Amino acid sequence: MSVYPSQDGELSKQLRQLVQIFKASARTILPTSSQDLLQSIVDAAARLFGAAAASIALVDENHQVLRFEVAHGAGQQDVVGQEISIDAGIAGYVVMTGNPIAVADVRKDPRFAQEFAEKTGYVPGSILAMPLVWNDRVIGVMEVLDKIDAPSFGMQDMELLGIFAHQAAIAIRQSQQVENLGDAILMGIKELCEGSPSLELGEVLTSLSHEVDEDQRAQDLMTLADLLYAFHQFGDSERKLALEVLTAFRDYVRSKQVSL
């Protein structure tokens, strides 16, 4: 694809298609929202660690807070969306140091209990808080609360949750980057325009930002991408059957086109 086309309309069309294809292929690989991913992580963590509750809060550096994104178990309805300052209490310690910590009885810490109870109506007993670290930056905190068959979380729990959290952080970061990458492509094109006055791509940019999601064809492509993602989750025999059906449909359509 040449950057210096003979017609702006042609370039506009090509760029639009490129971004559409990119977004569609991203959606076939990852869940449509990082919320789904985070929810599945806390659900798995609670089960794995035999905990009554689990949550993930992500760092919002602009506002210097931790925002609870997902929760599982006791208090889950109320905790999502709550924000706490990144220098507050146990979660704050984890964010600032990048170290995990296990506390045996948070109810004994009057400050913790008050802050949490006010926001959620749920005050945990034992807590294991683990940083989600990407490239030496703490991007969030995962907590598992109230170990079911023991009074507190131990070192083995900490080590296991650490490995789990490491993978979770990678997945979270990747899904954030993919969401941002579409925007990054647009930014790149914008910079290209600004750097080369002979290119008149203002109209292209306008058409890209307005039309990509409104076009019916683009929406259909997204729906198809979602279906392909769903296929990923099938078992082997279901996926094989889906492939056979789609292949047969493609061959049918082609045969019809040839006969026209």
CA 30, CA 89: separation in Å to the nearest integer?
A: 34
CA 105, CA 124: separation in Å to the nearest integer?
A: 8
Q: Does 49 bind other proteins (CB under 8 A)?
A: no
Which listed range, 108-116, 172-180, 182-190, 232-240, lies at the site for other proteins (CB under 8 A)?
A: 108-116
Q: Does 46 bind other proteins (CB under 8 A)?
A: no
Which listed range, 46-54, 153-161, 205-213, 251-259, lies at the site for other proteins (CB under 8 A)?
A: 153-161
Look up tokens 């990054």; give the residue.
184
In this chain, which of 49, 68, 93, 116 binds other proteins, going by CB under 8 A? Answer: 93
In this chain, which of 28, 162, 199, 222 binds other proteins, going by CB under 8 A? Answer: 162
For 202, residues 6+ apart whose C-beta sits below 8 A from its C-beta are 193
Which amino acid is present at 230?
A: A
Which listed range, 56-64, 174-182, 204-212, 241-249, lies at the site for other proteins (CB under 8 A)?
A: 56-64
Tally of CB atoms within 10 A around 211: 13
Q: Does 149 bind other proteins (CB under 8 A)?
A: no
Strand 101-103 relative to strand 127-134, pairing: antiparallel
Residue 147 CA, distance from chain mean position: 27
In this chain, which of 109, 115, 179, 226 binds other proteins, going by CB under 8 A? Answer: 109
Rule CB under 8 A: which of 73-92 touch other proteins?
86-87, 89-90, 92
- Angstrom CA distances, 6 to 1, 90, 139, 192, 198, stand at 12, 61, 46, 17, 12
Q: Does 240 bind other proteins (CB under 8 A)?
A: no
For 134, residues 6+ apart whose C-beta sits below 8 A from its C-beta are 169, 170, 172, 173
Q: Does 154 bind other proteins (CB under 8 A)?
A: yes
In this chain, which of 24, 53, 79, 102 binds other proteins, going by CB under 8 A? Answer: 102
Q: Does 150 bind other proteins (CB under 8 A)?
A: no
Binding-site ranges for other proteins (CB under 8 A) = 59, 61, 64, 86-87, 89-90, 92-93, 95-105, 108-111, 135-138, 152-156, 158-159, 162-163, 165-166
